[in-house]
Amino acid sequence: MFTKAVKYESSLKMSLSGPPGSGKTWTSLTLATTLADGRGVALIDTEHGSASLYADHFSFDTLELDSYHPQWVNLHLACVRTDRSARAC
């Protein structure tokens, strides 16, 4: 017997790759802004503030990391999931 499909809370896990200048950050901010549908967008910047170059086109919070390690990003994401605010992390 078929039942009505129900959408439960979900999250997107996505990877973009490309050479420098190919539009990865722009594409990420475009997708995030569209998917957020009026809710906040937060970006973990691992490239010394380069994402802030798009602050005049998109509204988003940013966290700049001095150095990068995947484990640190996961810790920050866990904080955002818990507090629902990038500013708290």
Domain count, the chain: 1
In a domain, 5, yes or no: no
On whether residue 7 sits in a domain, the answer given is no
* Domain assignment of residue 49, yes or no: yes
Phi/psi at 63 (5° precision)? -125, 115
Q: Decide if 15 is inside a domain.
A: no
Residue 88 predicted with pLDDT over 70: no
DSSP H/E element including 35:
helix 24-36
Residue 84 lies in a domain: yes
Q: What is the pLDDT of residues 1-25, one digit of tens each?
A: 899 988 887 777 788 899 989 999 9
Containing structural domain, residue 77: 25-88
Q: Is 10 contained in some domain? A: no
> What pLDDT is stored for residue 34 in this prediction?
93
Q: Is residue 70 part of a domain?
A: yes
> What average pLDDT does the chain have?
83
- 6 or 69: which carries more pLDDT confidence? 6
Q: What is the DSSP string of 42-71?
A: EEEE-STTGGGGGTTT---EEEE-SS--HH
For residue 82, name the pLDDT band (cuts at 50, 70, 90): low
